[in-house]
Amino acid sequence: MTTSFKLPLKKGSVIVGKWKHGHYRVERLLGEGANGKVILVSKDWQWYALKIGQDAVDLQSEINALKALASTSMARDSYLKDVDDWVTPQGKELPFYTMRYVKGLDMSAYLTQHGEDWFPLLGLNLLRSLGELHQAGWIFGDLKLENIIVGQYGDVELIDFGGATQIGKGVKQFTEIYDRGYWNCGSRTADAQYDLFSFAVLCLQLFAPRKLHQLSKELLPQNRSIEELMELAKETPQLAPYLKWLEQAFSGSFKHGKEAASAWRMLAHQRRSLAKSKKTPRWLKVMIAISLISLGISASLYVLDYAGLLK
């Protein structure tokens, strides 16, 4: 349920923290998640993304997840910066938190702008991020195009941790078309396979968004299945090298994000060496054929010669 609420926010207005008194200058709206709005703000010449919610409990639950992740390996550069409340001019108290601001594009726009050659790397970077989460005992949950930002040189960043769920619990937030349960492919209990399933749907979303949408609209609920998803993957030329990987992701046969990432990596590199080695056999085959023929000729000559000698 998207909580839609009006905010008296104009460019240049200032959000002040009630507890820690941080001053944040509003630049513009970045986006809207299920639990609130994300705004680009500046403080001391530094950009931040500020998420402001209406429901203190929902937002706090998200902050707790971020904090738990910050204490694990995900903390390369702490994602969560500040947590506070803002008293609006109308006297309403709204909870907010600030995060590192990542400038970039969504995956689909990135591939259009920079070329589809980037796809294997984006996939790998994303799978690695997911793998780190899984190792820390969490899943991302609501993996979808809107929640991923690609920065420079294919750097992938997950944003909006509203769906982040501890492994073993019920997935907190999800989007139907990316949801394993929606496609009759398993439960909504948080496990690494849940994220990997969504990742596989994301691949379809990137290269066949219209067909995917149509499929979900036309199929009867009981007919949604791996087979239908795989059928669509097979019709998508960009995914041809990944068909086996996708099937494994859809059926939940990767143990965790790390295994899925290394399988993906193998494919990404194999594909390049395969493309090279494909050319070699052609001339090799010709050479072998020539040498075989000449061997045959010389052998038969030899036999003939031998027979003649016998005479």
Partner 1 sequence: MKQILLITDGCSNVGMSPIVAAAHAKSEGIAVNVVGVVDHGELGEYGASEIHEIARAGGGLSRLVQAKELAQTVQMMTRKTVVQTIQLAVQRELQSVLGNDSIEALPPEKRGEVVKVMDELTETSGLQVALLIDASASMRPKLASVEEAIHDLMLSLQARAGKSEIAVFHFPGSKQEDCVLSLDWTTHLKGVPSIFPKLHMSGTTPTGPALMKVVEHFIESSSQRKEMDGMIGDDVI
Which residue carries 């998420």 as its tokens?
51
Among the listed ranges 101-109, 180-188, 276-284, 297-305, the one in contact with partner 1 (CB under 8 A) is 180-188
Residue 222 C-beta: closest distance to partner 1, Å: 8
Pairing of strands 14-16, 23-32: antiparallel
Comparing CB distances to partner 1, the nearer of 108 and 173 is: 173
Q: Is 51 annotated as a binding residue?
A: yes
The smaller minimum CB distance to partner 1, of residues 222 and 280, is found at: 222
CA-based nearest residue to 152, from 113, 119, 103: 103
Residues 204 and 299: their CA atoms lie apart, in Å, by 57
Q: Which of 58, 77, 84, 142 is catalytic?
A: 142
Cβ atoms of residues 230 and 247 within 8 Å: yes
Which of positions 42-81 make contact with partner 1 (CB under 8 A)? 56-58, 60-61, 63-64, 67
Closest CA to 85 of 21, 30, 137: 21
Residue from 91, 221, 237, 308 touching partner 1 (CB under 8 A): that is 221
Site string for partner 1, 224-253 (x = CB under 8 A): ------------------------------
The CB-of-269 to partner 1 minimum distance in angstroms stands at: 37
In the complex, least distance from residue 232 CB atom to partner 1, rounded to whole angstroms: 21
Q: Which is nearer to partner 1, 132 or 191 (CB)?
A: 191
Q: Which residues pair with 36 in a beta bridge?
A: 53
Sequence length of the chain is 311
The contact mask relative to partner 1 for 149-178 (x = CB under 8 A, - = no) is -------------------xxxx----x--
**Which is it for strands 36-43 and 23-32: parallel, antiparallel or unpaired?**
antiparallel
Question: Which is it for strands 46-53 and 36-43: parallel, antiparallel or unpaired?
Answer: antiparallel
How far apart CA 231 and CA 233 sit, in angstroms, is 5
CA-to-CA distance for 62 and 165, rounded, in angstroms?
9
Q: Out of 43, 81, 100, 188, name the contact with partner 1 by CB under 8 A.
A: 188
The sign of the torsion formed by the CA atoms of 73, 74, 78, 81 equals negative
In whole angstroms, what is the distance from residue 256 CA to residue 262 CA? 10
**Shortest spacing between CB 118 and partner 1, in angstroms:** 33
160 has catalytic annotation: no
Residues that bind partner 1 (CB under 8 A): 1, 19, 56-58, 60-61, 63-64, 67, 83-85, 93, 95, 168-171, 176, 181-182, 187-190, 221
Residue ranges of the annotated binding site for ATP are: 51
Residue ranges of the annotated binding site are: 51
